[in-house]
Structure 1
Amino acid sequence: MSNNLIRISWLCLKIFIAHYRQAPLQAGAIGIGIILAVTLLTGVRATNENAIQSYSSATELLSQQARWTITPPTGSRLIDEAVYFSIRDAGFNQSLPVLQGIATSQDGKRWRIQGSDLIAALTAFKPQKSDNQTSKSGLFSTPIPLADILSGAPIVLASQAQAKRIAQGGELILSGVNVKVIALDDTSQLGSEILMDISLAQRILNQPNQLSYIALFSDILSQQTQLEQLLNSQANLVESDNGDGLTALTESFHLNLTAMSLLAFVVGLFIAYNGVRYSLLKRQRLMTQLQQQGVAKAPLMLALSIELLLLVIIGSIIGFILGLQLSHWLQPMISVTLEQLYGAKIFPGNWHWSWLLQAIGLTFFAAIAACTSLFIQLIKQPLASNSGQMALQRGAKSVHKFQLAIAIVLASIAAALIPLSQDYRYTMVLLGLIIIAIPLTLPWCLSVLVSLLLKLIPKGLLHYQVTETKELISPLSLAMMAMLLALTANISMNTLVGSFESTLKNWLDARLHAELYIRPASTQMDKVVTFLTQHKDVDAIYKQWYISSKQAHLPVNIVTRDKQSLKETTVFKETVDNMWPEFFANRLVLISEPLAIKLNLNLGDEIELTALANSRFTVGGVFFDYGNPYGEILISPATWQANGLPETPLSLAIDVNGESSKLQQALQQAFSIPDAMIFSQQKIKQQAIIMFKRTFSITQVLNTLTLLVAAIGLFSACFMLTQARMAPMARLYAMGVNRRQLTSLVFGQMLIIVLFTCLVALPTGAILGYLLINKVTLQAFGWSIAMQWDWLAYGRVVALALISSLLAVAFPLYLQTKRPLISSLQREVI
């Protein structure tokens, strides 16, 4: 029995393959949907997993992963180089000094640089050969002039990709120092940083005898007490967290990317399902004939399932390859974003065959789930039933009402639970229910809107045009649902980005009260303050102090400023009554909005600051803070002094009487302060807008790709639908309707459907944008954003949808109308 089932199924499969040879467009439509879905899913997954893997395998450049790190003492940004020599003399030889900072190139761009003991890194920590790594790859694939580096030559190392960006001619000027750039293989784990010997870095950053941290590579657990006594409060000893800190910081960012890729995956599946639906429609008569010849339904369904599996496997393999290429294109954008926002280094990643198997499994499961209703309909169809489009459209109204009922249930669940959700992960799941509900309502909404329009149209050809439009809703519903998802995502994302940019600009205007901001070396701070006090162009000097600490395992900065700066630059979300007097009386602290959300703190709550001796305070205010990955706690200057914290400020803000550029030049001439440590107010605003836009730039790219996927799906749907409608068009032509009128009729019908879809997309996009702003972004990043409408952006999205839909109709219509219309009538009779 089983052999007979397999034999007949194989026969049916050969017949289906022969059918696709006659109609390759049908197989192409299914394959395109699967390919696009898997491409976007794999591309984003590879990018995400590569970034997360980079956190856990992050190494000291040209070396191995540090097990412990010696960081600057409380209240300081740097370590004295003498600490490094003392621990080396004590026998801790497996260590590496590191100095990090920002240097400015001759074109005004800022680059992350890192200085290290290159000789030690290249000799003591030379990587061992393994099965998949030889000494000819990675770091050692390019000869490095160790003798020149040892003699103090200005040589820097960069990955090949980074070297192309920063120095096409092999040379670069960093903070006035002309350096030679040597490009290493991208597998050398340099990421986007520029590596150099520590003596050169100290010169470029103007930080003589200073270090950012010291990396320890040996397990010093048994010697921990000895090392801590040796450091003697000159520095702090911290155990490596294997990238857990960065993973937690960037979790919301990666979740955002995953959500967008899943949305694109769903849009691609809509396209694939539409192709399967059309293919089954065109083969109804064939399958009826097979059953009339004695073929049972079981082998027929098995053959259809095998056919779908083969299409899924072929489409997934092609999509997997394209997805890896997409990840290669997306990674530079992700790297720049994560490195500038969080200081994370992203290395070239690896891919795994298991991703392909998972993509095939997920796509096949989704395709089977989507096509089950079609298969059941074929099984239940009587052999004597009529084949053709009307057979599938018979239950369209009941299907639309059923979809509407499901959408109402899903939306009701989300509406009831979203106000209760306090975690962005759960909110994203509930948002997913809304995203599923939105397209399910579309066929019913389109039917209602077209029915209302029909009442306004007089009898005649125009009335027929609108009446037939109602019949097109069912065959076009899947393509339009995919388009609606893409439009909704674009509108909501444009709302989020536009609102964020406006809110950020307003916040920066209030936050930046001085014309010039500088961060000189701590050893120069007193001299710089004296110089500024005596300078005739300086109207006022504002000071800021801060230390790094932890609060409930979260990294935080404890900050204070002079009284005037505190009052003028702190933009509050909410405060208690009589806040400032209580704050300056050392009874209150002010916390940033992101930290308040993460710690679930409200006004009047008690907070214990582990970094301070007098540690118990009351939360007196919550202030806005955008783009800072770390929480911030403001304390009064008196509280800072009472706890014996360092008196030397870490940064200065200056009110300038005249041109700030002249004062900047005078400071650099007097103290050799690098360009990267001096900021004008305008420069900060410009860089902040650029950097924070990058937070959403990748999702905007994915949104555009999703819209492109939907447009391709619409094209294939229109192409197939136009083929199916040539007989009705031929009948109209036979009744006296000329070709120009026929073309206008088809374009008009498509225009009505797309315009009504855009009309539905506007409120759904606004709802999704509201939830993204007021729930997801607030919970994930801790940013309150004032929602603003960007009608110009909405207009561009709608115009793009109209253009793509008209192009989708134009090409197939042109091909079909070139054929003799009488042949379409003959084909309908056959």
Structure 2
Amino acid sequence: MLLKLRLISYMKQLMLIFKVQLAEYKQKLLLNIGFIVSLAIATSTLLSILILNHASKQQYKEANILLESPVAHYIVPKQGNTVTKKDFAKLRKLGFYELQPILSFKKRLKNNKLVSFKAIDLLALSISKPDLYNPNAILLSAEYAQKLKLELPSKLRLVNNHTFAVKQIKSNLWHNVALLDIAHAWSIFPEYTGFSYLIVSEMTQDRLYSLSKLLPEHLILQQSFDIKERSGFADALHLNLTALSILGFIVSAFIAFQGANQAWHKRSELMSQLRLLGVGLFEIKLALMFEALFLIVLSSVLGLILSILMVSFLLPLLGFTLSQLYQLQSSGHFQWDWQYFLWSLIISSFAVFLALLNQFKLIKSKEISLYAKQSKVNLTQSRFIKNLLLFVVLTSLVFFTMPEFNWHFIMLKYGVLLIITTALLPLFLYLIFSVLNTFISRYQINFILQDLKNQISIRFLPLATFYIALTTSIAAALMVSSFESAFTKYLDQHLNEDLYIRFKVGEKEKIENWLNQHSNVDEFLLYYDAKAKVGKNTVAVNTINSKRQFSSIVFKSKLSQSLNQVLDKSCFINEQLALKRNILLGDMIPISQNTSTSVTFSCTVTGIYFDYGNPSFEVTIARKLAITHLKRLKEIGFGVYFKSFDDDVMTDLIAQLNIDESQLYQPSQIKKMALIVFKKTFLLTQAIAVVLLSIACFGLFLSANNLELARKSDLFILISLGYSKSALFIHMLIQWLLLACGCILLSWPIATILADVLVSKVLPSSFGWSMPLLLETSSFISSSIIGLICLIPALTIVLSKINVKGRL
């Protein structure tokens, strides 16, 4: 019976607490909605990037599996020959079932567009996937049809008015060719009777050796292009996105913490009064735990919805980045995974715990009479400053003792520096406004500044979030602008030929004769390619033999030497190799090849050059030195400088030499496409930086109303002194804008330090290359203006609606 009465008493107390909580939510509906939204934003900021990383990694793996083709080698015909049906049949009879025939050709459409055809054996695919592969039609992807300016479904009309049936194919494998069955190709294009080449899947070295020996004389075995190096870039991109997401979560958690303090300002007082009335601490804690659970579930759901919306927008952008930088055809579409909801619960639980930590501490306090009268005791200005100085001293010790093992530690270390400067922000603002107060004699301005200095401590949290977001945004903008400037200069200098001609086996002599005889050719250079070893590292070897080649190298550092001295026994290395092996200017490096007849030779490093985006190592040596010491030196193409160059030169070259258009590359076009890709790629980083700024300004939006009402007695004194509502609004707005300008003033030098760390330490540690920092005024001003543009409307709306008289 006693247990039953005690249980009824517990339930009554719980119901009383729940009624108080519900009444508080109703009375301050907008404030509590703001608190819940701030929790949801804190959850969604981190969750969205985690989902983005997870989803894009899954798509990257799938695309990379498709990219890493089972094709290990190619069998191609020598110049003037073809792979015949008899050749293929003979090799199959010899037991080489790893061979598959391919017919590749181009045709001009009626609209003058050039379409690339690829014919393969579609029999097996048409049986296993009949809805996708049709052996009796030409298969086109929607994007390739759009590129050819065709509307699907339609017929393919060639320049000779022949028309063919077309079917759309939904596959990322065939995004840039028209696919058809090889037997169907022979029937509709009777001029083709054999194959362009044969593809060879993986086979043992012994079988590969046997194949090379049994090939007909007019066929050559070639190794396929190795593309396994790309994964490092994608991993670094994902790690950088994770760093941004954690920073965004910190900013959002600041806002949630501030929102909790405001939303629970009256709640702490009410709960303390309930304790004085005899309500047990256990019941209060239990009710608060139920409320926390409600907040966790609600913020998880809202955060998850916001995250899915953000990811649905950002994932196609990231998919574009992967496709452009790594030639990966990812789907770019969001796919749900149930673990995302678990992540959401964990993140929102952490956010709620951070936000309500101070409130649980207040409720648990033994001095409940103090909190029953005033739920929030403001620290005095002097005590607040002492606490900050102690925090700065302790975190400074952490900063100066923290090692820089890898880029994670570097980011963490300078994240601590950002926190230190955030703690110094109130001291910096106090110092600035004290100095201004000394030099300004006008009473009204002095009064605003003096009042402002007294309010710095209570406005610290929202200002800290604004400062962190602004500093991060400026640092990101500086990094992007530095990279754009350095990358543009690199492309201008590096891609300085008018035309690059890649030749196939047997084509070198006729192309070289044409270049020697053509009066419009100013100069042409023969490019070589080879692989060698520097220690245990495999390096690509480039050759240099002219002033133009020398001038195309973008040096990070070099010794002053003439070209003749360089061509003697000197060499240049890319920054990636210098960082990997800690090689300095003047060092001797050994170069060797894995052949029985090769010998190791040494050269002096007289230059280290930038090689943006290249994940491999390179050495550049004189052509004479390479020919003398390297046995596996391949001639790959010509770089040509014309006296006057236009599209007619390319047309004449193709017509006279009968070479494929795909063998010609215009560096100017490559440069233009590279810059377009660059701008679209870094749009993701810039978008996240703007989101961080917007979140910080949302925090100010939530904070401004209650921070001003917290000092309503001071505002009432101003009204009694004759301040009108508009004058009071201007007074408060000027103070907030002065504080924001103070944040901007401190953020500029700190953002410069962080940007310098990003380009000189983080990039070399994560990507393997660096770039010079460019301090552009536009980067500082644009980020600051974006911050103020977001800030001014937020403050104006809130401050203009403050009703001091109605709340006193």
Give the TM-score range, shorter chain. Answer: 0.7 to 0.9
Is 1:628 aligned to 2:614, yes or no?
Answer: yes
Give 2:344's match in structure 1, choosing from 354, 359, 363.
Answer: 359
Gaps of 5+ in 2: none
Aligned to 1:591: 573
Cα distance between partner residues in 1 of 2:773 and 2:781: 18
Aligned to 1:322: 306
Query: How far has the Cα of 1:265 moved from its partner?
Result: 1.5
Query: How far has the Cα of 1:192 moved from its partner?
Result: 6.5
TM-score (norm 1): 0.81
Give 2:135's match in structure 1, choosing from 140, 146, 149.
Answer: 146
Give 1:784's match in structure 2, choosing from 770, 776, 789.
Answer: 770
Cα distance between partner residues in 1 of 2:385 and 2:26: 34
1:105-120 correspondence runs (5 A): 115=118, 117=120, 119=122
Are the structure 2 counterparts of residues 646 and 244 from structure 1 closer, same or farther at C-alpha, using a change threshold of 3 Å? closer
Aligned to 2:151: 169
Cα distance between partner residues in 1 of 2:575 and 2:769: 7
Give 1:701's match in structure 2, choosing from 682, 687, 691.
Answer: 687
Query: How far has the Cα of 1:283 moved from its partner?
Result: 2.0
Amino acid at match of 2:40: I
State percent identity of aligned pairs: 23
Give 2:241's match in structure 1, choosing from 254, 257, 261.
Answer: 257
Are the structure 2 counterparts of residues 599 and 214 from structure 1 closer, same or farther at C-alpha, using a change threshold of 3 Å? farther
Cα distance between partner residues in 2 of 1:451 and 1:105: 76
Give 2:759's match in structure 1, choosing from 766, 770, 773.
Answer: 773
436-445 or 1-10, larger mean C-alpha shift: 1-10
Are the structure 2 counterparts of residues 395 and 175 from structure 1 closer, same or farther at C-alpha, using a change threshold of 3 Å? farther
Give 1:406's match in structure 2, choosing from 388, 391, 397.
Answer: 391
Aligned to 2:476: 493
Query: How far has the Cα of 1:626 moved from its partner?
Result: 1.6
Cα distance between partner residues in 1 of 2:697 and 2:239: 26
Query: How far has the Cα of 1:813 moved from its partner?
Result: 2.5
Is 1:43 aligned to 2:76, yes or no?
Answer: no
Cα distance between partner residues in 1 of 2:22 and 2:538: 60
Aligned to 1:24: 29
Instruction: Give secondary structure in 2 for the equivalent of 1:474.
Output: coil
Gaps of 5+ in 1: 128-139, 150-154, 826-830
Q: CA RMSD in A?
A: 4.5
Give 2:324's match in structure 1, choosing from 327, 335, 340.
Answer: 340
Instruction: Give secondary structure in 1 for the equivalent of 2:24.
Output: helix
Are the structure 2 counterparts of residues 650 and 65 from structure 1 closer, same or farther at C-alpha, using a change threshold of 3 Å? closer
Is the 1:114–1:193 contact (alpha carbons within 8 Å) kept by the matching residues of 2?
Answer: no
Aligned to 2:520: 537
Is the 1:548–1:555 contact (alpha carbons within 8 Å) kept by the matching residues of 2?
Answer: yes
Cα distance between partner residues in 2 of 1:13 and 1:376: 20
Is the 1:539–1:656 contact (alpha carbons within 8 Å) kept by the matching residues of 2?
Answer: yes
Is the 1:543–1:652 contact (alpha carbons within 8 Å) kept by the matching residues of 2?
Answer: yes
Give 2:57's match in structure 1, choosing from 52, 55, 61.
Answer: 52
Is the 1:312–1:364 contact (alpha carbons within 8 Å) kept by the matching residues of 2?
Answer: yes
Amino acid at match of 1:70: A
Instruction: Give secondary structure in 2 for the equivalent of 1:441.
Output: helix
Give 1:70's match in structure 2, choosing from 72, 78, 86.
Answer: 72
1:604-623 correspondence runs (5 A): 604-610=587-593, 613-618=598-603, 620=605, 621-623=607-609
Instruction: Give secondary structure in 2 for the equivalent of 1:545.
Output: strand
Instruction: Give secondary structure in 2 for the equivalent of 1:147.
Output: coil
Aligned to 2:675: 689
How far does the alpha carbon of each residue in 1:712-748 deviate from its partner, in whole angstroms, 9 at most, with x for none?
2221222433454555434422332112211211111
Number of aligned residues: 779
Cα distance between partner residues in 2 of 1:15 and 1:109: 74
Cα distance between partner residues in 2 of 1:464 and 1:569: 62
1:202-221 correspondence runs (5 A): 214-215=200-201
Is 1:304 aligned to 2:309, yes or no?
Answer: no
Query: How far has the Cα of 1:491 moved from its partner?
Result: 0.9
1:747-826 correspondence runs (5 A): 747-817=733-803, 821-825=804-808
Aligned to 2:361: 376
How far does the alpha carbon of each residue in 1:23-64 deviate from its partner, in whole angstroms, 9 at most, with x for none?
222322222223223323233222322333234334776xx9
How far does the alpha carbon of each residue in 1:360-386 deviate from its partner, in whole angstroms, 9 at most, with x for none?
213322442454244324433733326
Instruction: Give secondary structure in 1 for the equivalent of 2:543.
Output: strand
Query: How far has the Cα of 1:766 moved from its partner?
Result: 0.9
Is the 2:46–2:245 contact (alpha carbons within 8 Å) kept by the matching residues of 1?
Answer: yes
Are the structure 2 counterparts of residues 458 and 306 from structure 1 closer, same or farther at C-alpha, using a change threshold of 3 Å? farther
Cα distance between partner residues in 2 of 1:385 and 1:5: 26
Is the 2:109–2:157 contact (alpha carbons within 8 Å) kept by the matching residues of 1?
Answer: yes
Cα distance between partner residues in 2 of 1:687 and 1:646: 33
Are the structure 2 counterparts of residues 49 and 22 from structure 1 closer, same or farther at C-alpha, using a change threshold of 3 Å? same
Is the 2:126–2:132 contact (alpha carbons within 8 Å) kept by the matching residues of 1?
Answer: no
Cα distance between partner residues in 1 of 2:379 and 2:112: 67
Cα distance between partner residues in 2 of 1:301 and 1:474: 30
646-655 or 732-741, larger mean C-alpha shift: 646-655
795-804 or 392-401, larger mean C-alpha shift: 392-401
608-617 or 253-262, larger mean C-alpha shift: 608-617
331-340 or 758-767, larger mean C-alpha shift: 331-340
Cα distance between partner residues in 2 of 1:536 and 1:313: 77
1:262-661 correspondence runs (5 A): 262-347=246-331, 348=333, 350-369=335-354, 371-380=356-365, 382-385=367-370, 391-394=376-379, 397-417=382-402, 421=404, 423-458=406-441, 460-547=443-530, 556-575=539-558, 584=567, 589-603=571-585, 604-610=587-593, 613-618=598-603, 620=605, 621-642=607-628, 649-661=635-647
Instruction: Give secondary structure in 2 for the equivalent of 1:590.
Output: strand
Is the 1:275–1:717 contact (alpha carbons within 8 Å) kept by the matching residues of 2?
Answer: yes
Cα distance between partner residues in 2 of 1:174 and 1:769: 54
Cα distance between partner residues in 2 of 1:479 and 1:98: 64
How far does the alpha carbon of each residue in 1:203-234 deviate from its partner, in whole angstroms, 9 at most, with x for none?
9xx9x955696555xxx6xx563245324695
How far does the alpha carbon of each residue in 1:530-570 deviate from its partner, in whole angstroms, 9 at most, with x for none?
22221121111112122467878977533334444542322
762-771 or 230-239, larger mean C-alpha shift: 230-239
Amino acid at match of 1:595: L
Query: How far has the Cα of 1:768 moved from its partner?
Result: 0.7
How far does the alpha carbon of each residue in 1:419-440 deviate from its partner, in whole angstroms, 9 at most, with x for none?
xx36323322323323333333
TM-score (norm 2): 0.83
How far does the alpha carbon of each residue in 1:92-125 deviate from its partner, in whole angstroms, 9 at most, with x for none?
65676789999999999999x995736156247x
